[in-house]
């Protein structure tokens, strides 16, 4: 009976590894898809002594970057929430599976015991329960 928790642990580890692999694949896909956003043409800012032009150019560039970062953070938070929800669902499924498996094993044991008793009774041998309740016979002799 000690092997069952190890198997359940193996199932949980395999499920966690599958979720992690899927998450990594989604991150790779996300990065590949959005890499073009980072490869924008350079904005040449003419330095003419007027710091207002430089400030406005820096502000435009940084604002776009901050917005992109905010969008990425929001998407990652959504992915995280999805992963947490899926992890909980998988835990519930594993728990349900373990309970059903235990019930099935118990049912099979009961059926096997019943068939064994039935088989012994059909062969003319007293069932284990009958042998316990049988009164000893004294032979006259």
Residue 108: inside a domain, yes or no? Answer: no
On the question of pLDDT at 77 being above 50, the answer is: yes
Domain of residue 27: give its range. Answer: 3-40+52-101
Residue 18 placed within a domain: yes
Does any domain span residue 63? yes
pLDDT of amino acid 141: 45
Q: Per the domain annotation, does 124 fall within a domain?
A: no
pLDDT tens for 83-124 read 999 999 999 999 999 999 999 999 999 999 999 888 888 777
How distant, in Å, are the alpha carbons of 10, 13, 41, 102 from that of 4?
10, 14, 59, 9
Distance of CA 29 to the CA centre of its chain: 21
Return the pLDDT at 4.
52
**First CA to last CA across the chain, in angstroms?**
51
For the residues 46-73, what does the mean pLDDT come to?
Answer: 79
Query: 78 with 89: CB under 8 angstroms?
Result: no
Count of structural domains within the chain: 1
Listed in sequence order, the residues at least 6 apart from 79 whose beta carbon sits closer than 8 Å to its beta carbon are 23, 26
Q: Report pLDDT for 12.
A: 78
Residue 8, pLDDT above cutoff 60: yes
Asked, for residue 95, whether it belongs to a domain, the answer is yes
Residue 132 lies in a domain: no
Residue 116 belongs to a domain: no
User: Does 47 score more than 80 pLDDT?
Assistant: no
pLDDT at 130 over 70: no
């Amino acid at each position: 009976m000690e092997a069952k928790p190890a198997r359940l642990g193996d199932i949980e580890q395999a499920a966690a590894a599958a979720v992690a692999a899927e998450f990594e694949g989604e991150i790779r896909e996300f990065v590949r898809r959005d890499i073009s956003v980072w490869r924008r043409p350079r904005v040449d800012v003419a330095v003419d002594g007027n710091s207002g032009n430089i400030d406005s150019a820096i502000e435009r560039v940084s604002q776009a970057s901050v917005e992109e970062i905010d969008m990425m953070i929001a998407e990652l938070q959504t992915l995280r929430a999805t992963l947490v929800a899926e992890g909980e669902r998988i835990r519930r499924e594993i728990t349900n599976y373990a309970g059903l498996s235990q019930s099935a094993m118990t049912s099979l044991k009961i059926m096997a015991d019943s068939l064994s008793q039935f088989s012994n009774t059909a062969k003319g041998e007293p069932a284990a329960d009958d042998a316990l309740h049988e009164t000893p016979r004294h032979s006259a002799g």
